[in-house]
């Protein structure tokens, strides 16, 4: 079995966990692959070293991400491209997406080797920039945010569902989230908490200026789009999973729908979603 190990190199705890995990996996007969910079930091014996991340992922059976939620999301997007299984090991602050804690790594490795796990598909958003000359498609495991960059002013947005006008509102921006992302930025903006196994698209306005503007939940079969009602005056930006904002031209708008493929997470089925939610978010207050 080939395991690609992705590690957050900025977290000392993640480095320690990855080294221990590599030893356990190799002792169980697995082959470990890493990127050059990861091997420089980890110095894993007998590891396969690659120059390109895509080559690592394409040539493995399972991608294991060691770090926080950001690391797991980054790894999941690479795994999605090649339909690989993804497992998150928490070495961060919250690790809400992680299915394993560092102290349970020996048990985790044993279950991976014996295929004693479940595969949990997670809904992914496909996000396009339309209306202009360029062709752009990106994917979001957590959320796609349309806002006005760093400007501290309201923007006027129009929302469409299946190409039919739905609503117009003023806000700092809007979040389109997956059920997985319902516990991230969308929750902070007042959106609902949704079981990640549901297929749904959440729309959460950011600080809306009308009392009647509220979060909405759409069927995953719907296609949504949002655009500025004053494109000549208000430049919008698109950010996927907290990534670098992409500026939109005045004639461009954003469309959101269900991606054709789901991210496939390894789950050990030990705890229900709301149990984890209570432990990691509610009880940490």
As a whole number of angstroms, the distance between CA 147 and CA 173 comes to 4
As a whole number of angstroms, the distance between CA 170 and CA 208 comes to 6
pLDDT of residue 166: 95
Cβ–Cβ under 8 Å, residues 34 and 93: no
Domain borders along the chain are: 2-122+262-282, 125-258
Residue 83 class from Cβ within 10 Å (0-12 exposed, 13-18 middle, 19+ buried)?
A: exposed
CB burial readout 203-212, b (16+ within 10 A) else e: bbbbebeeee
pLDDT of residue 162: 97
* 2-122+262-282 and 125-258 share one fold: no
CATH topology of domain 2-122+262-282: Rossmann fold (3.40.50)
Task: Tell me whether residue 69 is one of the annotated catalytic residues.
Answer: yes
Express each pLDDT in 73-85 by its tens digit: 999 999 999 999 9
Express each pLDDT in 230-259 by its tens digit: 887 788 999 999 999 999 998 999 999 999
**Which candidate in 10, 54, 55, 69 is catalytic?**
69
pLDDT of residue 91: 86
Q: Which residues of the chain have pLDDT under 50?
A: none
pLDDT of residue 101: 86
pLDDT of residue 2: 97
CATH number corresponding to 125-258: 2.60.200.30
The pTM assigned to this predicted structure is 0.91
Residues 6+ apart with CB under 8 A from 104: none
């Amino acid at each position: 079995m080939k395991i690609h190990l992705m590690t957050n190199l900025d977290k000392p705890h993640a480095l320690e966990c990855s080294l221990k995990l590599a030893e356990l996996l190799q002792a169980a007969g697995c082959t470990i692959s890493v990127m050059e910079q990861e091997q420089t930091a980890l110095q894993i014996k007998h590891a396969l070293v690659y120059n390109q991340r895509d080559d690592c992922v394409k040539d493995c059976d399972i991608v294991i991400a060691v770090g926080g939620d950001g690391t797991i999301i980054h790894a999941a997007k690479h795994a999605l491209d090649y339909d690989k299984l993804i497992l998150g090991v928490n070495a961060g602050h919250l690790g809400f997406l992680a299915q394993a804690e560092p102290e349970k790594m020996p048990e985790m490795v044993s279950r991976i080797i014996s295929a004693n796990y479940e595969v949990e598909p997670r809904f992914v958003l496909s996000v396009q920039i339309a209306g202009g000359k360029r062709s752009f498609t990106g994917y979001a495991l957590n959320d796609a945010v349309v806002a006005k960059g760093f400007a501290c002013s309201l923007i006027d947005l129009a929302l469409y569902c299946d190409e039919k006008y739905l609503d117009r509102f003023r806000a700092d921006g809007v979040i389109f989230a997956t059920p997985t992302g319902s516990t991230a930025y969308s929750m902070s903006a007042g959106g609902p908490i949704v079981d990640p196994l549901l297929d749904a698209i959440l729309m959460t306005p950011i600080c809306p200026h009308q009392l009647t503007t509220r979060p909405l939940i759409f069927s995953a079969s719907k296609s949504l789009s949002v655009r500025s009602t004053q494109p000549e005056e208000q430049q919008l930006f698109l950010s996927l999973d907290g990534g670098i904002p992409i500026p939109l031209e005045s004639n461009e708008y954003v469309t959101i729908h269900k991606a054709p493929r789901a991210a496939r997470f390894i789950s050990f089925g030990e705890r229900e979603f709301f149990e984890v939610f209570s432990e990691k978010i509610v009880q940490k207050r």
